[in-house]
Amino acid sequence: TPHTAFQNIVTCLEAGVPVVCGTTGWLDRYAEVEKLCNERKGTFFYASNYSVGVNVFFAVNRRLAELMERFPEYDVTVEETHHTQKKDAPSGTAITLAEGILGNLTRKKKWICGTTTEPDALEIASVRRSVVPGIHTVTYESEADVLSITHCAKNRCGFATGAVIAAEFVAGKKGIFSMKDLLGLE
């Protein structure tokens, strides 16, 4: 859970155990984990989402934001839909999408969960439905048209497979890694 992840990671790194983590909601302490991992010459792999498809989606999202920088008439929003048991809102995946937009679209300065009238704020809508593994949509809208990109998880298999691939990837390695390293993105 977000409340126990940090201490669990620290305990593993202090014991010399490599860590693959996908828990979100604790990232305000990420720099501490990074420092400890480097001090201990440990292994830490973090991703907000382990789906290969989602991570390619992140790369497409960043590139689309770069392209849309030239077109201020388009406003952008993010929507994420998950199962009702999801503990955080917005999801870590939605936050990663928002950060990809904010890093490449200078007219947006921050993200907000919910609606806003602030032109420099990126809206993230969080929807909860009974049995939805995860749907994420980024939408650019102008008076003339709408451009949307969406990733829809059919089940949880992709998340589990990605985590196993990540664990195999870090075997025998030291350092801090992410899905960008594993997939050779950027």
108 is known as an active-site residue? no
Catalytic residue, chosen from 35, 41, 82, 83, is: 82
Distance CA 46, CA 49 (A): 9
Of these residues, 3, 35, 41, 86, which one is catalytic?
Answer: 86
Phi and psi at residue 128, to the nearest 5° = -120, 125
Has 174 been annotated as catalytic? no
Q: Which of 56, 2, 3, 48 is nearest to 159 (CA)?
A: 48
| Active site residue ranges | 82, 86
